[in-house]
Amino acid sequence: MSEPYDMWRCPITNCGYTYDPDRGDRKGKIPKGTSFESLPDTWVCPICGGSKDKFVRMVEPPA
């Protein structure tokens, strides 16, 4: 599993999907190892369809 600061959560009500780069997104045909920042701008949450800009980083990266 990725470090928490590499994972992004969709905070849209009743969703809570977490994008983990170690898993990618099979539904969206995103291969394992793809960072959130490298996802295409057209990528959406596979659960609720929320756009990439709706996601928030789970924790801030270490300084």
- pLDDT-above-90 percentage for the chain: 60
Report the predicted TM-score, pTM, of the whole model to 2 decimal places.
0.81
Ordered domains of the chain (ranges, CATH):
1-63 (2.20.28.10)
Look up residue 3 and give its DSSP letter: -
Cβ contact 10:17 at 8 Å: yes
CA angle 43, 37, 20 (to 5 degrees): 75
* Residue 56 CB-density burial (10 A; 0-12 exposed, 13-18 middle, 19+ buried): exposed
pLDDT of 19 higher than 80: yes
Tens-place pLDDT, residues 27-51: 999 999 999 999 999 999 999 999 9
